[in-house]
A and B are shown apart, each in its own frame.
Chain A
Amino acid sequence: MTSLTAKDKDTVKAFWAKISPKAAAIGADALGRMLVVYPQTKTYFAHWNDLSPGSAPVKKHGATVMGGVGEAVGKIDNLTAGLLNLSELHAFTLRVDPANFKILAHNILVVLACTFPSDFTPEVHVAMDKFLAAVALALSEKYR
């Protein structure tokens, strides 16, 4: 995949500044959607007592995941180095199949479209799509 241009990074940072107050809610919504629309992803959360959208574990974990995305925005100039610890976590402990990063990214984009319909322009969409793909790549670094 292509690397992020200066324009991509500026677009991501500006959009993130706008949406970060709602980051936890966005994460919860995206995660809840993913579990409904892509039921195979539920296999990673068999230990939760409630996987429905809006449930306590989904809300908590959605906030955690978006916290990670926010961290990535701060380290946008070197995602591979910046997300090393998170990559090790996903590779050795969580062992999430990296195909799922794309699925979650799609659901984050859907939530952004729902929540910020006029701000989520095609230009912002392409920058965010590239950014989330770059984050997924950095998270996959330590897998093998």
Chain B
Amino acid sequence: MVVWSEQERSIINSIFSSLDYNDAGPKALSRCLIVYPWTQRYFASFGNLYNAEAIKSNPNVQAHGIKVLHGLDRAVKNMDNIKATYAELSVLHSEKLHVDPDNFKLLADCLTIVIAAKMGSAFTPEVQAAFQKFLAVVVSALGKQYH
């Protein structure tokens, strides 16, 4: 059972309530595809991913980045039961999308970098710890139904 302090809940809610999904989503996903190019294997149908510029301006990447980021909303609303909340999504990623669960951590790290860049000095060690704890729980939940 994951235990959240009041401070951690407040930090997570604050980050997501002030988040510009249309900006952060595309930035996080495109960063992941650029920094960890092997993750492009899941997006063969997205068209031109040949270089950083192409990835950043690819409309499929942008749309999908927004979609993935909104996928975190359910975890924010159900912080006390993220594992159950994501059971179905975990099955989807395993059985249908065949995503190696190690990749979840890579995207989580890129999202951390994007949020850090946005918040600057407001991304204190305490905020970073809470955010990374949240993402770690999400990553774990998404990997739970793999077999």
A and B are interacting partners:
yes
* Chain A residues with a Cβ under 8 A of chain B: 32-33, 36-37, 53, 106, 109-110, 113-115, 117, 120, 122-123, 125-126, 129
List of B residues within 8 angstroms of A109 by Cβ: 113
In contact, A122 and B56 (Cβ under 8 angstroms): yes
List of B residues within 8 angstroms of A37 by Cβ: 125, 128-129, 132
Main secondary structure of the interface of A (DSSP, over half): helix
In contact, A117 and B117 (Cβ under 8 angstroms): yes
Closest to A35 in B: B125
Contact of B123 among A32, A36, A110, A122 (CB under 8 A): A110
Q: Known interface pairs A114-B119, A123-B34, A129-B35. Does A53 touch B125 (Cβ–Cβ under 8 Å)?
A: yes
Residue B116 CB within 8 A of the other chain: yes
CA distance A50 to B109 in the complex (A): 28
Known: A33-B125, A120-B113. 19 other contacts (CB 8 A): A36-B125, A36-B129, A37-B125, A37-B128, A37-B132, A109-B113, A113-B114, A113-B116, A114-B117, A114-B119, A114-B123, A115-B120, A117-B118, A117-B120, A122-B31, A122-B52, A123-B34, A125-B34, A125-B35
List of B residues within 8 angstroms of A32 by Cβ: 125
In contact, A33 and B117 (Cβ under 8 angstroms): no
> How many B residues touch A, CB cutoff 8 Å?
22
* Chain B residues with a Cβ under 8 A of chain A: 30-31, 34-35, 52, 56, 109, 112-114, 116-121, 123, 125-126, 128-129, 132
CA distance A120 to B34 in the complex (A): 13
Closest to B114 in A: A113
CA distance A125 to B36 in the complex (A): 10
Nearest Cβ in chain B — how far from A63, in angstroms?
18
In contact, B34 and A114 (Cβ under 8 angstroms): no
List of B residues within 8 angstroms of A122 by Cβ: 30-31, 34-35, 52, 56
List of A residues within 8 angstroms of B132 by Cβ: 37
In contact, A126 and B112 (Cβ under 8 angstroms): no
